[in-house]
Chain A
């Protein structure tokens, strides 16, 4: 695929026929000027490289940019890059940086800036989640030689070689990996992978330097973020003069009220219940997009009773996917198949379908030594509410096979303390354009986000094999084996893929909902009232 190889931007857009991400091909009929206000939580920001929620990255995204861009269609294109080349063994990636990009302070973007950024996210002391993505081909784990208090050797991470991230010339950077990796362009669009000014050393706030279309003028946690359009943007200048995020709090009713009184022109996200309340407002347009956002009920395979794979299979057989979708998402979702690879992923392979089968599940449980089922705690978060609702509906369905669930709802902050340790819990996962990205983050042995502690050498082998195959069709042959393995042995029950939705005022033009909940304000314009 031309796009996957980043041959050239022009070619790529011709191939997929979509407006380019950074607005170089500006539509002539878009009105200029005006202000746009979008309702979204304004959370505190430590550093762009540490952004860990779509909301945080949205605040930064208007100011700082990525090397690549993954569109609504899951296809990744060059962004701050002009193009990229990759060697046949998928180990050497050459990144060609655009020559016309300027920082707010007028300095051109150089290879040194990019190298500094890539090295910084690879530093474990920084704590960026990009490190997890780079592990396995650019970053290796090693033993520090020290021992922890239990006497186990401590491990840390580092770039596998000084040459791992290499400056070729002023506008070229080369990544030299020790293992093949096809998802490099996608990794470069991972939400904290912003290119920031080395002079600011990771700080972010009003006036921060960036290559992006807007300048952050004012930022108050819990209140708002205000932007001013930049005149000398390397792409075409934004349509809007000013742009604003407004924090409306967690109360879904307040968000509806703000839309009703036009205090905001749109929301960054609106769930199915909110959409129902707002779709009758005459000035409101509803936007929807299929995503690979999901939630998995994940079981620790090294803890009782889930240490028997028949129990894990029985849990999967207890679930009526369509019922969960109807009840929890009011139908705004598609059925998942318990292997965390979505039909919209390019390497997805269709497997024989299976549905709820109480008798088979009970037999499996009896064989595993639980003829009367068992009782277990299931940990979740009450916010966002759809996660708790999912747990409640699943708990009802697990009852059918004799599994009694005690729901333990923890506030988000406390949930993230225990998410990798409790035997049974529900975790929401964000959108990722490739199936192998989630699988390597969440199920590879010892991966940082492997919440269930799943460890299966066969799975790891197949996954590494899949990561080295460029062609999605060939990859999906390996993926079929991985998916079947997940259904047979895997640690998750996965009820659905979410349809992501939001609302915008009808006067907002150029808005397209991105499955990652990313907001690019320079694409939007407001029609005069």
Chain B
């Protein structure tokens, strides 16, 4: 188990390293220099040239990547915070510390000041949505999977397929039209701040609803298929022939086995909810991680995009790891040496 954990940890670091390098390399393709982005559109070419030289931004890609890595691990001081750059960029944590993601050229703040707040907001949104998606999709999936082709299955299938196929921006607009404009009971945007006269919980209703509507149907379909498969297994037939009540059959034998495959799918939804909520955040002006990532990548704010990438990759790997652990718990035949 310990060696499994260590192997996993090394894999995780390697994956993050590769991902961060890919982002670094891809950012080469977008036009515009770090110096220009730090100084803004109205700086003269002369100022840009001076700063480019000071930051050594014309060095080869690998050297610059190495430098970024050095700043991240605290081996090197962040060059953007160098007082000689004339940018007045300062980080209260200092110029050299472990976990220094550098300076955001878009927000003109240390990346650490930008991403954690945003991530927290998105975690609330994603957490609430996840807490609703899990029970809802299990109930719907199991109910429609129990009697494939029955009336209930038909109805639930139509509902989940319809909901899943409506894109988030469309359901967002529908909900806003319904609950904000025609029947004004909810706020139209979610700045996570009560000074607009609407409480923070009321601001979460619509964005969470959009995410749940979009996602639960998809997961329910997965659970349904798995449930159907399990219900056709010989041991279920045996259990029924043995004279167990349907209740005992479902809860005692079917459910646990039916959840093995969808379990991974469910955990994958966490990844989607952390990095894939851009559309919902845009629709409701929600100050979250996805919107930040979108703005940063459009601007070419490499430091912020790098940090955000590492966070999303880490979330993906951790959920995958949790998935494996859950798998083991659900299926005793899978054991790690």
> Are A261 and B187 interface neighbours, CB within 8 A?
yes
Cα A247 to Cα B298 with chains together (Å) = 18
For residue A244, CB closer than 8 A to chain B, the reply is yes
Stretch of A227-235, A363-371, A416-424 at the chain-chain interface: A416-424
Question: B54 to chain A: which residues have CB within 8 Å?
Answer: none
Stretch of B44-52, B73-81, B269-277 at the chain-chain interface: B44-52
1/0 per residue, CB under 8 A from B, across A240-263: the answer is 000010111111011111111111
Q: Which residues of A contact B (CB under 8 A)?
A: 35, 37, 44, 46-47, 50, 52, 124-125, 127, 129, 148, 154-156, 202-203, 221-224, 226, 244, 246-251, 253-264, 410-414, 416-419, 448-449
> Are A261 and B285 interface neighbours, CB within 8 A?
no
Closest chain-A Cβ to B196's Cβ sits at a distance in Å of 3
Cα A37 to Cα B41 with chains together (Å) = 29
> Are A414 and B40 interface neighbours, CB within 8 A?
no
For residue B64, CB closer than 8 A to chain A, the reply is no
1/0 per residue, CB under 8 A from A, across B272-307: the answer is 000000000111110100011001001110000000
> Are A257 and B46 interface neighbours, CB within 8 A?
no
> Are B283 and A417 interface neighbours, CB within 8 A?
no
> Are A254 and B40 interface neighbours, CB within 8 A?
no
Known contacts A254-B285, A263-B191, then 4 further A-B pairs from the complex at CB < 8 Å, ordered by chain A residue: A127-B44, A224-B195, A247-B191, A257-B284
Question: A224 to chain B: which residues have CB within 8 Å?
Answer: 191, 193, 195
Given that A222-B287, A244-B195 are known contacts, is A254 also in contact with B188, CB under 8 Å in the complex?
yes
> Are A249 and B285 interface neighbours, CB within 8 A?
yes
For residue B159, CB closer than 8 A to chain A, the reply is no
> Are A263 and B298 interface neighbours, CB within 8 A?
no
Residue of B nearest to A157 (CB): B44
**Among all A-B residue pairs, the 7 with the closest Cβ atoms:** A257-B188, A416-B41, A263-B196, A254-B285, A417-B32, A411-B298, A261-B188
The main secondary structure of chain B at its interface with chain A is: loop
Cα A259 to Cα B188 with chains together (Å) = 8
> Are B284 and A254 interface neighbours, CB within 8 A?
yes
For residue B165, CB closer than 8 A to chain A, the reply is no
Q: Which of A203, A255, A414 makes the CB contact (< 8 A) with B32?
A: A414
Which residues 166-196 of B sit at the A interface, judged by CB distance below 8 A?
172-173, 176, 180-181, 184, 186-189, 191, 193, 195-196
> Which of B44, B180, B191, B292 counts the most A-chain CB atoms under 10 A from its CB?
B191
> Are A256 and B188 interface neighbours, CB within 8 A?
yes
Closest chain-A Cβ to B102's Cβ sits at a distance in Å of 15
Cα A222 to Cα B118 with chains together (Å) = 10
> Are B31 and A254 interface neighbours, CB within 8 A?
no
Residue of B nearest to A410 (CB): B31
For residue B30, CB closer than 8 A to chain A, the reply is yes
Question: B39 to chain A: which residues have CB within 8 Å?
Answer: 127
Question: B41 to chain A: which residues have CB within 8 Å?
Answer: 52, 416-417, 419
> Are A257 and B176 interface neighbours, CB within 8 A?
yes
Q: Which of B40, B49, B86, B184 makes the CB contact (< 8 A) with A52?
A: B40
Cα A421 to Cα B294 with chains together (Å) = 27
Enumerate 16 A-B pairs (CB-CB under 8 Å) in ascending A order.
A50-B40, A52-B41, A125-B86, A127-B40, A127-B42, A156-B46, A203-B88, A222-B107, A223-B287, A224-B193, A254-B285, A260-B176, A261-B186, A263-B188, A413-B298, A448-B44
